[in-house]
């Protein structure tokens, strides 16, 4: 049984973003991950560096919609931070062989 790209991305939110667990990133993200958000460094290590800071905000990600089109998955997410701040985020991921290769996002506070 193999998972769809959408299921993999949804598990990535569950296991990493909502669990605040960076130890599982390598399970989901390739080493030379391409990051299109200019505020986050390239590669898996860049994401890990970002998460170290981001997890201090204890954000909860509520997925509103997830769409899959071939190797692309788009996720519309409501994010609530521990200080009460909120954001609406659209993340787009490109996967290859069950691994996240590339990421784009749009964030609205």
**Mean pLDDT value across residues 93-107:** 97
Secondary structure of residue 36 in the 3-state scheme: coil
Residue with tokens 């996002």: 105
**Mean pLDDT value across residues 44-65:** 97
* Dihedral over alpha carbons 59, 63, 67, 72 (to 10 degrees): 10
Residue 62 contacts residue 78 (beta carbons within 8 Å): yes
> In this model, does residue 108 exceed pLDDT 80?
yes
Which pairing describes strands 86-96 and 99-108: parallel, antiparallel, or unpaired? antiparallel
Q: Mean pLDDT, the chain, as a whole number?
A: 97
Q: What is the pLDDT of residue 2?
A: 87
User: Tens of pLDDT along 3-21?
Assistant: 999 999 999 999 999 999 9
Phi and psi at residue 99, to the nearest 5°: -120, 140
* pTM, entire model: 0.95
């Amino acid at each position: 049984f193999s998972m769809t790209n959408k299921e993999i991305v949804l598990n990535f939110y569950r296991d990493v973003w909502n669990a605040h667990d960076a130890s599982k990133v390598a399970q989901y993200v390739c080493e030379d991950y391409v990051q299109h958000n200019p505020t986050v460094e390239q590669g898996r290590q860049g994401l890990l560096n970002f998460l170290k800071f981001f997890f201090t905000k204890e954000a909860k990600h509520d997925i509103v919609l997830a769409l899959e089109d071939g190797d692309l998955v788009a996720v519309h997410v409501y994010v609530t931070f521990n200080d009460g701040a909120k954001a609406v985020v659209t993340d787009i991921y490109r996967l290859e062989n069950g691994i996240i290769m590339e990421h784009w996002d749009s964030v609205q506070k």
